[in-house]
Each structure stands twice: as structure tokens, then as C-alpha cells.
Amino acid sequence: MATDPSRPVIELPPQYDPSVVEAPGYQRWLDAEAFTAGRPDRADRPPFSLVIPPPNVTGSLHVGHAFEHVLMDALTRLKRMQQYDVLWLPGMDHAGIATQNAVERALAKEGLSRHDLGREAFVERVWKWKAEYGGQILGQMRRLGDGVDWSRERFTMDEGLSRAVRTVFKQLFDQDLIYRAERIINWCPRDRTALSDIEVDHREIEGELVTIQYGPLTVATTRAETMLGDTAVAVHPDDERYRHLIGTMVPLPLTGREIPVVADEHVDPAFGTGAVKVTPAHDPNDFEIGQRHGLPSITVLDELGNVTAHGPFQGLDRFEARPAVVEALRAEGLIVAEKRPYLHSVGHCSRCGTVVEPRLSLQWFVRVNPLAKRAGDAVRAGETDFVPPEMAARYFSWVDNMHDWCVSRQLWWGHRIPVWYGPDGETVVPGPDEEPPAGPGWVQDEDVLDTWFSSALWPASTLGWPDVTPDFERYYPTSVLITGYDIIFFWVARMMMFCTFIAPKVPFRQVMVHGLVRDSRGRKMSKSAGNGIDPLELIDSYGTDAVRWTLARAANPGTDVPLSEEWVQGSRNFVNKLWNATRFALMNGADPALPLDEAGLSVADRWILGRLSEVTAEVDALYNAFEFGKACDALFHFARDELFDWYVELAKVPLRGEQADADRTRAVLGRCLDTVLRLLHPIVPFVTDELWRSLNGFTDDTQTLALAQWPADIGLRDPAAVAEMTRLQELVAELRRFRTQQGIASRRKLGAVLLAGDEATEAFAARWSPQLASLADLTIDVGSAAPDGWETLTAAGMSVALDLLGSIDVDAERARITRALAAAAKEIAETSGKLNNQGFLAKAPENVVAKIRARHEAAVSDQDLLNERLRRLG
RNA sequence: GGGCGAUUAGCUCAGGGGGAGAGCGCUUCCCUGACACGGAAGAGGUCGUAGGUUCAAAUCCUACAUCGCCCACCA
């Protein structure tokens, strides 16, 4: 049974070149419609769906995206091979504030601001930006090999998704879950918009605490300028020091106003002076105190952070006003304690880094309590699982302690709030398909919604919600969400809130949480730190598969992933190894289609097929548990250490031997490689598809691993074959070690006689002597006694006589020893220049001395050994 | 202030009551007809510290130290 002669012979070059394989490979998948969900041939298969965490249209994909995409792609490729009807839905996020900032920066280079263009022209400009950068991202996804269904691509500002936003807004409004109110919100004076709590980063800042005299009381503050807006001083109701002052008025310096002293539980008597200035318009706590005591709120800072209060400070920036106010107070002798440094946490805009100003402002809020309760309960009830489970704690810590969500943004790019205000103070929220009220005096709210408002609907809106489309019915809820732990609050929790509100099913059954990509020293990658790696540059240098393999191999659920270029090189090497092992198999006629005669298998065949079975089962389980790193590890070691290093080497003997042995080996090798390529395909899709097609002699473009069957455990296990292989490996290792220790060049054949003592060893010797000869570079005989003068080595139950003296090139060995002695002596001289009477240096780092001494001793003992042998030789 | 996690070979990390592992790096030899993006043989760790449980602890418990991360309305 020789290889089918009509089969095309495919020759591979000795090095894998990703640049000629990847682009045609991706096109082949597209042409085969491999990534299209709902293929007619899978109509009766179960669906498996996931949505991409939509990247921002700003900029391009970074290495974190690459990592996330590799995980999603590996998972969907696995499921596709398992013959699910897979939907991986791609798309992008309009990323309101980030995109608006980016476009504004571009405009600034032309000397323009968004106000020069006006709202309509500016928004048009952003759409143009989106067309340009969005296209760039899509190209990058192709390079990564992402098997997404391009026919279902979505954008958060698509008409359909915008309608979903209006629909949910209307529903929330009608159920009193969204409301407009004047509240303290986080205000970014640079971006001039409100921010939600999680868009604020808290950083420890060294501030200055000053203590100010308010009549009979003193108060401490780090934000002196806000005192212009104080409307009370608060003390603890039980504080004996101040009880007599409660209800009295105290003078507010610099303003000529008087403010009341109020009692409030919030005040900690042990902190500072025990008396707190109350600025309801510029501090969330103070606002609460103000509400409790009916205090007025006086706004003293405008939207730029400039002082609005009348007087000498008017128009000053808040950071100019701060020292100015302190100076003015000092001039009046009202600074009772000097400034002292004080470490406290200050909010910064997560987008631009500006210090956030708490500010009283009229905004729209989502009443999150009922929504968050349901979102938390869904996870508690097991409707959605977190992987790894510890990550659920982060989720709960948020949904269980959430404040109302400020969703209005004073931006132009985003979903405009679907609310109209009438001439007589009416507030109307029309249905998503209704005409808004028109006529004199009617205006739409100027603001847009937080970008996460539409993201929260993503799994439902991309599938057609609010319409019950065929896609929505088939693919919702999605099977799994893959995202980073940094995004649980922003996105996962909000999707759970909104989707359980509208659907009312959970948006996904599982959340697989991955870590962040870090550099080789564990530091977070960022452009500013200069340690960022562009995944596309790595791909250009080493190929997509090498980059994917590097990331996947380090992927343990929930933990961070280090990345450095040299590890990608290592991956590239493995990919190339895979290429060459397959190349060898092809050159030797391996073919998965050859029949496998189980009865005629050799020990080596039964060993490798058994191991193949085990690894198939192991990898299957690991993939399903999202243990990509461990799956890669198992495959790496099986492929390299067992299949390539041992089976392929052993196969060289039968492949060059009898026809029947050769054909049997071709069948086994073909089968093993075919299976390994399938198992590797989810991680390294390009090279495996190319090799698999070559190995199987496929030339038809529709034949692709992307749609091939996932391998099943063929159920072969052969402990006896494993035991015998282990024995062989030990013997070979011992022979090689012996050779190295004796300094016999590996090119030189070492004469050997396998000493068969009994029937079992005789059989072993007869079976393996050709392979032993090839693996350990021996010329080999089987006998019962060691020839005179030969040395005997015993390992793994076999005794082998070795013709050591006949194998040594005396002149070469003598030269080698002389060289070693000279090198050691030179090293000694270079290290200290002084030798003690034993020939070793007296003073040098101990490890250096030890190293040199060892080398010197080794050379001396080699010399002794050689002399001894020469003497015996006569 | 609260919570979570980490501490294992030079670096980055797996492992998890009974033989101390991987990748990369390092040393020596070898360009042998799949592959030098390769092969072979090696060196290297008292698994953070101190106690405890156990026949047995890198692994479980307690405390401590150090380092991360997250949350929080600390004037």
C-alpha cells in the first residue's frame, strides 16, 4: 500500500515564511465562508456565540487587544471545529469622550476648535475620522487572523443600535429608573463635561492642609478657595466642645456673610479640629449635609474651574485662587495653623488627567439600585459564571455598592439624549419610533449619553434588539464573554444591569476574565513608559502565529501576561519546528489517509498513538476550562519532546527499511501530525492550515482546518509500550551521556555490543538495535560477552560493551585537553595575575574561583584518563 | 480604611501534602540528508521569614515581612 501516486506531491521550503502564507490563508477562510454564522450545513447544530468587546474607534489595536482577540479566536475556532454554529460578532465603540478628544486634537493642529465648526459639522468630522481609523482596526483584525463574522459587523452609533439606546432610555424613563436632577457630579474642567464615578482615577497627592478661623471655630481644608461657597460649619452633635455653638451664626471670612453651625453625624470629632466647613455646591459630603439641613448651595466655580464669586478672586483659576485666598486670610490673621503637607486622594479625569472638580450640576442619572440588585442576583443564582470564580468578587463589590450613574455628558459625539423640553417646562421622551414634539419653544436636550450606556446594550443590540430577530432568538444569550478584569465595572456589570432589564435574560452564560499584558519585567505596558509593544510590528517580524502562541502560552485565567520579543522568537522557532517536522513527514510519504492496521503496529507506533490519545483528551479538557496556557504547554511538549524528538527519529529506521514497515510508519506519522495540527489550529491557525492541507494533499480551497472536525480521543492506551519506550529513552540518554563525558565527538561512531543476558533482553536488543545505533551514533552488534579491553555500561536493565579506545582520536583528544588546560590557566592569570602555590588564585570571588578550579580539574582528570587508556592500549 | 492576590532557578511564571518543574537566558560539544529559527550533554533553587498541624509541608493553618492590584464621600 504505497502512497496514492495520483496525489499531488507538495514540497515545502525549509523555513516557514508567514508572509506568503497568512494573507492567502485568511482570504481562503473568507472565501469558504468559514466565519459566517448560520451556515445552512449547521442549521441543526447548537449555536455558540460571543460578541467582541468593541474597541474604541480611536487609534489602533494594542497588544492587550491582540491578547484578548487570540483568546476569543482560539475559543471560536475550537467550537467551530467541534461543529457548533459559531457566531463571533465584531464591531467598534464610538467611545464618546475619547474620540471627541482625539478629533479635537487633530482640529487643534489646524488651529480650529469644535466651536469654530459648530455641532453638526464637528460630528460629521468625527464620522470621517471613524471611517479612516475604523478601517485601520479592521485590517489589524485580519492580520491577527480573527475569525469574525464580517457580515454582522456593528458600530454603537449605527441606526439600529441608536434605536436600541432610545428604546431603553424610554423604558427606563417610564419606569422612573432614569431621572434628571441637580446633584454633585465629577466635573472635568478641561473636557468640560460630567463624568461617572468610574471615569475618575484617584491618586494620592501631597496637598496642603490649612486651618482657618471662623469666629469661635477653626476648620481645616485642602481646598481653601471653596470657602467662598461655604454655607455652614458642621460639628458632631455629641461633641462637648462645640455643643453650645450649634444653631448660632459664625462669620465667614472674606465674604461678609454669616453662616450657621449645624450638628451632623457625618463629622468625625477626632479628625482635625472636629469642625467642618460645609460647601454644598462643591463637595459630595457637604452636599449631603446641606440636604439634611436645608442649606443653600452656592456655586463659586464655573465649568472651566474659574472662580465666579464676586470679589477680588473672580475669574481666577481654582489653582490660582487657592493660594490667593490663603494669603488674603493670612493678611486678616485668620490662618491659625501654618500650611502643612497632607497626603490625600484626589480624583483625576481618567481621559485627560485633569483634577476633577466636584460640582453641582443638572444631569441625567440612572437609578441603579433595582437594576444592580437584579444584576447581582443573576450571578448569585448561577445564571452567569465567572472564570476564574474569584473574579466574581470584583463584580459583587461594585453591583452591591453602587451609586446612581450619571449618564449625561456635555459632549457632541454620542447618542443625543432623547428628551425634549417644552415651552411650559414639559419633559417628553418620545418612543423610539415616534416623532418628537415640534413647534415653538420645544428643544431637545443638548447633551449626549455616556458611551457606556450604549455599550451596556451591546450583546442584545448587535443581535437586533429591540426587535426579536432570528439572530436574537438564536444567539442570545451569548455563550461567553471574554474580557479583562479592568473592565468588569465599566462594562460587564452594566451589561448585566441593562440586559437583564430588557431581555430579561442574562447577556452571557460565562464571563472569562483575562489579565493584562505586561512587559518582560512585569510592568504594565504603556506608551508613556516606553515599554509598549506594537503587536503588528511583532507580526511583521515573526508572523501572526508566533505572536499568538506567545500570548496564548502565557494565558492563565485571570492572571497577567508578560510579553517580550525574545519569547516571540522562541515561539517562532517552535512554529518553524512544526513546519519542518511536517516537511520531513511529507518527504517520506506520510499520509493521514493511509489505513491503520492496529494489529501490525510496532511498539513505537503503539506508544505514540497512545500518547496522542491521552494528549487529545487532556487538551480538550484544558481548552474547555479556558486553560489556554496549559493546553499550549501540553501540546508543545507532546509535539516537540515526544512526536518530533523520539517518534520521528525512531521512524527514520522503518521508513528506510522494508516496504510494509515504511507504509505502516507513514500511516502512523500521518495520523499523529494530522491530529496535532488540528489540536494546534485554534492557537496557530495559519501555519497549521497550510501544513494540514499539504499533508492531506488538499488543493481545493474549501478544504480548510477552520471547518475540519475536532479530533476525538481514539481511545488507545498502551502502558506496556510506554514502559518499553521509557526504557529505551533511558538507555539512549545514558549512552549519550557516556559519550559526552568521554569526550567522543558525535560524528565518530562508537563500536558497541548489546549484551543479551536472557530472552527478554535479547528481544529488546534485537528490536531496538538499529534505532540505538542511529540515536546514539553506534555501530552495533548483539552478543553475549564483552570483547577484550571494552568498557561496559549498564542502564535500564541492559548492558552494553563499548569500544572506547578504538573510538578515541588520540591526537584530537590530546589537543583538546591541552587547549582546555591552557584556557584555564589563562583565565586564572586574567582574573588575578597572582597564583598561590597550588596554582589557584588566592583572592577572587568565590564563585569565580570555583568555576575556574572546576574547569582546570576537569582538564587535568581528562588528561589522566587519556594517559591511563593509552597505557592500557600499550 | 476595607478587600483580593503574590512571594518557587539569572528573568518571566506553572505546580500544589510523599521524586523541585517549564520557557527564555547561561556552559560545553556538534553546521549528521526535516529543521543551526537545529541537535546532544550540562550548570543553576535550603520553593519570603517564624511558628503550628501531620508519619510526611514548597504545598494546609497562624502570624509577620515585602510587593502588587482593586474599592472607599479620610474635611
DSSP A39-73: -GGGTTSPEEEEE--PPBSSS---HHHHHHHHHHH
In chain A, which residues from 648 to 687 place their CB closer than 7 Å to nucleic acid strand B? Answer: 648-649, 652
In the structure, how far is the CA atom of residue A519 from the C1' atom of nucleotide B18, in angstroms? 38
Question: DSSP secondary-structure letter at A742?
Answer: H
**Does A198 contact strand B, using a CB cutoff of 7 Å?**
yes
Residue nearest to nucleotide B36 (CA to C1'): A573
**Does A726 contact strand B, using a CB cutoff of 7 Å?**
no
Sign, Cα dihedral of A311, A312, A315, A320: negative
Q: What is the mean pLDDT of chain A?
A: 87
Phi/psi of residue A482, nearest 5 degrees = -115, 120
Length of chain A: 874
**Does A94 contact strand B, using a CB cutoff of 7 Å?**
no
**Does A285 contact strand B, using a CB cutoff of 7 Å?**
yes
pLDDT category of residue A473 using cuts at 50, 70 and 90 = very high
Chain B bases near protein CB atoms (7 A cut-off): 2-5, 11-15, 22-25, 28-32, 34-42, 69-75
Q: What is the nearest nucleotide to A585, using C1' and CA?
A: B34
In the structure, how far is the CA atom of residue A540 from the C1' atom of nucleotide B67, in angstroms? 36
Q: What is the nearest nucleotide to A563, using C1' and CA?
A: B12
HSE value, Cβ hemisphere, 13 Å, CA-based, for A104: 18
Task: Please compute the mean of the pLDDT values over residues A523-530 and round it to a whole number.
Answer: 69
Residue A2's pLDDT is what?
A: 42
Q: Are A756 and A782 in contact (CB under 8 A)?
A: yes
pLDDT category of residue A815 using cuts at 50, 70 and 90 = low
Q: What is the nearest nucleotide to A391, using C1' and CA?
A: B4
Q: What is the nearest nucleotide to A777, using C1' and CA?
A: B32
In the structure, how far is the CA atom of residue A826 from the C1' atom of nucleotide B47, in angstroms? 39
Cα distances (angstroms) measured from residue A205 to each of A191, A317, A341, A357: 21, 19, 10, 15
Q: What is the nearest nucleotide to A226, using C1' and CA?
A: B75
Residue A874 has pLDDT above 90, yes or no: no
Tell me: the pLDDT tens digits for A414-434? 999 999 999 998 999 999 999
**Does A761 contact strand B, using a CB cutoff of 7 Å?**
no
Alpha helix stretches (DSSP H) within A531-627: 535-542, 544-553, 565-587, 603-624
CA distance A709 to A703: 11
pLDDT category of residue A862 using cuts at 50, 70 and 90 = low
Task: Please compute the mean of the pLDDT values over residues A176-203 and round it to a whole number.
Answer: 89
Centroid of chain to Cα A568: 15
In the structure, how far is the CA atom of residue A745 from the C1' atom of nucleotide B73, in angstroms? 76
- Element at A391 (helix H, strand E): helix A391-399
| A492: number of Cβ within 10 Å | 29
Residue A608's pLDDT is what?
A: 96
Name which of A376, A420, A380, A371 is nearest A398 in CA terms: A376
In the structure, how far is the CA atom of residue A630 from the C1' atom of nucleotide B56, in angstroms? 29
pLDDT category of residue A529 using cuts at 50, 70 and 90 = low
In chain A, which residues from 223 to 282 place their CB closer than 7 Å to nucleic acid strand B? Answer: 223, 266-269, 271-277
Torsion on CA atoms A512, A513, A516, A517, rounded to nearest 10: -20
Q: Are A232 and A288 in contact (CB under 8 A)?
A: no
In chain A, which residues from 560 to 599 place their CB closer than 7 Å to nucleic acid strand B? Answer: 560, 562, 566-567, 569-570, 572-573, 575-577, 580-581, 583-584, 587
Q: What is the nearest nucleotide to A646, using C1' and CA?
A: B39
Name which of A89, A787, A122, A734 is nearest A412 in CA terms: A122
Residue A835's pLDDT is what?
A: 44
CA distance A648 to A669: 8
Residue A110: strand, helix, or coil: coil
CA distance A483 to A471: 23
Residue type, A222: T
**Does A529 contact strand B, using a CB cutoff of 7 Å?**
no
Q: What is the nearest nucleotide to A221, using C1' and CA?
A: B75
In the structure, how far is the CA atom of residue A550 from the C1' atom of nucleotide B14, in angstroms? 15
pLDDT category of residue A458 using cuts at 50, 70 and 90 = very high
pLDDT category of residue A6 using cuts at 50, 70 and 90 = low
Nearby residues of A496 by Cβ (< 8 Å), 6 or more positions away: A375, A378, A379, A384, A399, A506, A507
Residue nearest to nucleotide B28 (CA to C1'): A740
Q: Where are the beta strands (DSSP E) in A357-472?
A: 357-366, 385-387, 405-406, 408-409, 420-421, 427-428, 443-444, 448-449
Task: Please compute the mean of the pLDDT values over residues A6-10 and round it to a whole number.
Answer: 57
Q: What is the nearest nucleotide to A343, using C1' and CA?
A: B74
In the structure, how far is the CA atom of residue A817 from the C1' atom of nucleotide B2, in angstroms? 68
In the structure, how far is the CA atom of residue A832 from the C1' atom of nucleotide B50, in angstroms? 42
In the structure, how far is the CA atom of residue A738 from the C1' atom of nucleotide B44, in angstroms? 22
pLDDT category of residue A384 using cuts at 50, 70 and 90 = very high
HSE value, Cβ hemisphere, 13 Å, CA-based, for A537: 8
In the structure, how far is the CA atom of residue A375 from the C1' atom of nucleotide B4, in angstroms? 21
* Proportion of chain A above pLDDT 70, given as a percent: 90
Residue A480's pLDDT is what?
A: 96
In the structure, how far is the CA atom of residue A491 from the C1' atom of nucleotide B53, in angstroms? 44
In chain A, which residues from 4 to 33 place their CB closer than 7 Å to nucleic acid strand B? Answer: 14-16
| A832: number of Cβ within 10 Å | 16
ipTM (interface pTM): 0.95
Residue A259: strand, helix, or coil: strand
Q: What is the nearest nucleotide to A652, using C1' and CA?
A: B34
End-to-end CA separation in angstroms for chain A: 56
Tell me: the pLDDT tens digits for A627-671? 999 999 999 999 999 999 999 999 999 999 899 999 999 999 999
Residue A721 has pLDDT above 90, yes or no: yes
Name which of A613, A623, A621 is nearest A682 in CA terms: A623
CA distance A161 to A165: 6
Q: Are A679 and A618 in contact (CB under 8 A)?
A: no
Phi/psi of residue A415, nearest 5 degrees = -80, 115
CA distance A693 to A257: 85
Q: At A821, list the grid cell.
A: 588546560
Residue A810's pLDDT is what?
A: 66
In the structure, how far is the CA atom of residue A798 from the C1' atom of nucleotide B16, in angstroms? 36
In the structure, how far is the CA atom of residue A105 from the C1' atom of nucleotide B30, in angstroms? 60
In chain A, which residues from 600 to 639 place their CB closer than 7 Å to nucleic acid strand B? Answer: 629-630, 633, 636
Centroid of chain to Cα A852: 45
CA distance A262 to A234: 5
Torsion on CA atoms A385, A390, A392, A394, rounded to nearest 10: -160
CA distance A71 to A552: 7
Name the residue with higher pLDDT: A209 or A683. A683
CA distance A466 to A469: 9
In the structure, how far is the CA atom of residue A74 from the C1' atom of nucleotide B35, in angstroms? 27
| A684: number of Cβ within 10 Å | 28
Cα distances (angstroms) measured from residue A477 to each of A78, A146, A351, A379: 20, 22, 32, 14
Cα distances (angstroms) measured from residue A622 to each of A334, A560, A617, A679: 69, 18, 9, 11
DSSP A417-436: P--EE-TTS-EE---TTSPP
- The DSSP bridge partners found for residue A365 are A179, A406
Residue A460: strand, helix, or coil: helix
Residue A797's pLDDT is what?
A: 85
Residue A317: strand, helix, or coil: strand
Q: Are A725 and A642 in contact (CB under 8 A)?
A: no
In the structure, how far is the CA atom of residue A522 from the C1' atom of nucleotide B65, in angstroms? 21
* β A217-221/A200-214 pair status: antiparallel
Question: DSSP secondary-structure letter at A625?
Answer: T
| A723: number of Cβ within 10 Å | 12
DSSP A461-491: HTTTTTS--HHHHHH-SEEEEEEEGGGIIII
**Does A552 contact strand B, using a CB cutoff of 7 Å?**
no
Q: What is the nearest nucleotide to A276, using C1' and CA?
A: B75
DSSP A526-551: -TTTT----HHHHHHHH-HHHHHHHH
Q: What is the nearest nucleotide to A393, using C1' and CA?
A: B4
pLDDT category of residue A809 using cuts at 50, 70 and 90 = low
In chain A, which residues from 457 to 496 place their CB closer than 7 Å to nucleic acid strand B? Answer: 486, 489
Q: What is the nearest nucleotide to A558, using C1' and CA?
A: B5
pLDDT category of residue A839 using cuts at 50, 70 and 90 = very low
CA distance A467 to A484: 30
Q: Where are the beta strands (DSSP E) in A623-746?
A: none
Name the residue with higher pLDDT: A172 or A833. A172
**Does A850 contact strand B, using a CB cutoff of 7 Å?**
no
pLDDT category of residue A842 using cuts at 50, 70 and 90 = very low
Name the residue with higher pLDDT: A793 or A546. A546
Q: At A504, list the grid cell.
A: 430579561
Q: Are A823 and A816 in contact (CB under 8 A)?
A: no
Cα distances (angstroms) measured from residue A165 to each of A41, A128, A151, A174, A498: 35, 22, 22, 14, 10
Q: Are A710 and A82 in contact (CB under 8 A)?
A: yes
Phi/psi of residue A683, nearest 5 degrees = -90, -45
In the structure, how far is the CA atom of residue A585 from the C1' atom of nucleotide B40, in angstroms? 23
In the structure, how far is the CA atom of residue A625 from the C1' atom of nucleotide B50, in angstroms? 38
Residue nearest to nucleotide B37 (CA to C1'): A573
In the structure, how far is the CA atom of residue A64 from the C1' atom of nucleotide B47, in angstroms? 31
A715-721 contacts at long range (C-beta below 8 A, 24 or more positions apart): A715/A613, A716/A606, A716/A609, A716/A610, A716/A612, A716/A613, A717/A610, A717/A613, A717/A614, A718/A606, A718/A607, A718/A609, A718/A610, A721/A603, A721/A604, A721/A606, A721/A607, A721/A610
Q: What is the nearest nucleotide to A649, using C1' and CA?
A: B34
Residue A872 has pLDDT above 70, yes or no: no
Residue A3's pLDDT is what?
A: 46
Tell me: the pLDDT tens digits for A313-345? 888 888 888 888 888 888 888 888 766 777 788
**Does A644 contact strand B, using a CB cutoff of 7 Å?**
yes
Tell me: the pLDDT tens digits for A573-598? 999 999 999 999 999 999 999 998 88
**Does A703 contact strand B, using a CB cutoff of 7 Å?**
no
CA distance A759 to A771: 19
In the structure, how far is the CA atom of residue A761 from the C1' atom of nucleotide B56, in angstroms? 38
